[in-house]
Amino acid sequence: MGKVSIENVSQYFINREGYKTQALKDLNLEIKDKEFVCIIGPSGCGKTTLLRIIAGLENPSSGKVTLDGEKITKPDPKRGMVFQEYSLFPWRTVIRNITFGPEMQGMDKNKSEEIAEEYLKLVGLEQFKNSYPYELSGGMRQRVAIARALANDPEVLLMDEPFGSLDAQTRNVLQSELLDIWEKKQITIAFVTHSVDEAVFLADKIVMLTSRPGKITNIIDVNLPRPRNRTSPDTNQFRDRVLKILAEERVKE
C-alpha cells in the first residue's frame, strides 16, 4: 500500500537575518495508492519542499503527512526518491549504486546484486553494470537513479523534476519507460515538474501550486486513456485547458 495524506501542512523558513518566508501554506492533499500524481507550479512555489517533506528530509512547521496512516518524521526506504540533480554516488559503480539500498537494509551481497541486476535490466542498462557514473550520459544516470530507488522496493516513489536537465528526446523516452515501470511495479508516484506537457502525459492527477506561499489552487483529474498519445486532439485540448488555468492563476497574482 502507498496512500499518502497531507493534512494542513505549512512550512516556514527562517533565514540568517531572521526573515521568515512561508514556503507552503495549509496544504491538503490525498495521494491514492498506485496513483500517479504530478505536482506542477512555477519555480520557487515549494514543490520541492513538499516532496522533501513526504520523503522525511524535512519536517513541516505545522500539519502532518502520513503514509498509510503512519506519520512521516524521517527518511525511510519505503519512500524512494529520485533527485533533480545527479545524485548517484560517483565512487560506486552502477551496480554498487543500486545495491546500496538493499545493503543498508542488511541484505547479503549476493541477494542484493541479484535484485540490482533485475532493476538494471528494467531500465535497460545491463551492459553498464560495472561502469562508473562519470562514464554515463545524463539520461543513463537518471535511469540508474530510478533503478536505485526501486531496488528498495518502495511503496511510494518521489521524483523531483528528474528529467528536467535532459534533452527533449531523452526526456520523452524516459517518460514512457517510467510509465512502463509504474504499471509493472504497481507503486504510487509523486512527480514534481514545471512542464505541462510532461504532467499531461504522465499523471492521473495534476496538482497545481502557486508560489509564495505555496498553496494548492487546482487539482485536475487527467481522464485521458492510457497508453497516451502526445499529439492526439484530446491530449492537445487537455493541455490547452491546463495552460489556461495556469494563465488565469498568474493573472490573479
Q: Which residues bind other proteins (CB under 8 A)?
A: 55-57, 74-77, 79-81, 83, 85-93, 100-101, 104-105, 132-135, 148-149, 152
Return the ∠ at Cα 84 (arms to 81 and 65), rounded to 5°.
40
Q: Which is nearer to other proteins, 142 or 210 (CB)?
A: 142
Q: Minimum distance between the CB of residue 132 and other proteins, rounded to whole angstroms?
A: 4
Q: Which is nearer to other proteins, 81 or 206 (CB)?
A: 81
Q: Minimum distance between the CB of residue 252 and other proteins, rounded to whole angstroms?
A: 34
- For residue 118, the surrounding DSSP H or E stretch is helix 109-122
The C-alpha atoms of residue 191 and residue 51 are separated, in whole angstroms, by 9
Q: Which is nearer to other proteins, 149 or 209 (CB)?
A: 149
The C-alpha atoms of residue 34 and residue 153 are separated, in whole angstroms, by 14
- For residue 236, the surrounding DSSP H or E stretch is helix 233-252
Q: Minimum distance between the CB of residue 20 and other proteins, rounded to whole angstroms?
A: 23
Please state the length of the chain: 253
The C-alpha atoms of residue 133 and residue 142 are separated, in whole angstroms, by 10
| Contact present, 178 and 227 (Cβ < 8 Å) | no
What cell numbers appear for 178 in the block? 517510467
Q: Minimum distance between the CB of residue 160 and other proteins, rounded to whole angstroms?
A: 10
- For residue 144, the surrounding DSSP H or E stretch is helix 138-150
Q: Which is nearer to other proteins, 41 or 80 (CB)?
A: 80
Q: Minimum distance between the CB of residue 13 and other proteins, rounded to whole angstroms?
A: 16
Q: Minimum distance between the CB of residue 17 and other proteins, rounded to whole angstroms?
A: 20
Return the ∠ at Cα 32 (arms to 117 and 27), rounded to 5°.
115
Cα 109 to Cα 94, 106, 117, 142, 228, distances in angstroms: 15, 9, 12, 24, 40
Q: Which is nearer to other proteins, 94 or 200 (CB)?
A: 94
Q: Which is nearer to other proteins, 44 or 75 (CB)?
A: 75
Q: Minimum distance between the CB of residue 76 and other proteins, rounded to whole angstroms?
A: 7
Q: What is the CA radius of gyration of the chain?
A: 18
Q: Which is nearer to other proteins, 72 or 203 (CB)?
A: 72
> Across the chain, where does the E strand assignment appear?
4-14, 20-31, 36-40, 62-67, 70-71, 79-82, 156-160, 188-193, 205-210, 215-221
